[in-house]
Amino acid sequence: MKIIQVPMDESLLRAVTGGAKASRVTRAAFIRRACEEHLRRTREEELDRQYIEGYRRRPEKPAIGKVGSRLAAEVWKDEGPDEAW
C-alpha cells in the first residue's frame, strides 16, 4: 500500500476526524472508504449514462416492452408478499 499526503482545510479535517471516530475507524480507513464509495458511484453513474444513451441510439420496440411488462406481471403475480424483495 502506498502512503500519500492530502492537503485539506481545517474544517474538512475536523469533519473527517469526527466521521472516522463515529465510524470507529482510522482517518486513513475513513478516507479510503470515501474514495472507494465515490469511485463506485461514479462508475455506476457512467454505466447508467451508457445504458440510457444506448436506448436513445437504438430504442426498444414498443411490442418488446409490452411483452416484457406482461411477463414481469405474471412472475410478480405468482409471487406472494413473503417473496418480495
Q: Where are the domains of the chain?
A: 10-78
**Tens of pLDDT along 44-72?**
999 999 999 998 888 877 777 788 788 88
Provide the whole-model pTM: 0.63
CA torsion sign for 14, 20, 22, 24 is negative
CB 6 within 8 A of CB 31: yes
Q: How confident is the model at residue 33 (pLDDT cuts 50, 70, 90)?
A: very high
Lowest mean pLDDT among 4-18, 25-39, 68-82: 68-82
Q: How confident is the model at residue 13 (pLDDT cuts 50, 70, 90)?
A: very high
